[in-house]
């Protein structure tokens, strides 16, 4: 499923996750892509600059899926799966359904990486998850 531009479909939740203020990776790349002017701080990037940087970063991002498990007084994360860039469109289109069908009833963390660089994360309580078992 792709847009008319040939780009993959990106739902609003994912675009906001990548470009919002909570996870500044894409915004920071857009800001520091601007030329350096001696003695002047780089200005904040425009919406267009952020969108351009998003479309540079997102297609090369991989995904790691982790399960949150409470062990005693701490929470640990167990690897459930990894997806290479471009291989997780079903996860993007309907994360709840994909995670439930693939991993079952769990509390899941989905991390996005640009190479070795952490980009952003989102948590899901899947398939009616109500508490640590």
**How far apart, in whole angstroms, are the C-alpha atoms of residue 82 and residue 101?**
16
Domain ranges of the chain: 12-59, 61-125
The pLDDT tens digits of the residues spanning 105-126 come to: 889 999 999 999 999 999 998 8
pTM for the model stands at 0.87
At residue 93, φ and ψ (nearest 5 deg) are: -65, -45
Residue range 41-100, pLDDT digits in tens: 889 999 999 999 999 999 999 999 999 998 899 999 999 999 999 999 999 999 999 999
Q: Which residues contact 37 (CB under 8 A, 6 or more apart)?
A: none
């Amino acid at each position: 499923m792709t847009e008319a531009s040939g780009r993959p479909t990106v739902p609003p939740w994912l675009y906001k996750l990548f470009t919002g203020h909570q996870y500044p990776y894409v915004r920071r790349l857009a800001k520091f892509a601007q030329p350096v002017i001696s003695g002047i701080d780089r200005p904040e990037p425009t919406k267009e600059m952020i969108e351009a940087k998003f479309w540079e970063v997102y297609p090369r991002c991989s995904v790691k899926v982790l399960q949150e498990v409470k062990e005693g007084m701490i929470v640990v994360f167990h690897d459930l799966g990894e997806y290479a860039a471009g291989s997780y469109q079903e996860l993007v289109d309907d994360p709840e359904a994909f995670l439930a069908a693939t991993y079952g009833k769990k509390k899941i963390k989905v991390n996005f990486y640009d190479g070795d660089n952490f980009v952003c994360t989102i948590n899901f309580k899947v398939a009616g998850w109500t508490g640590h078992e």
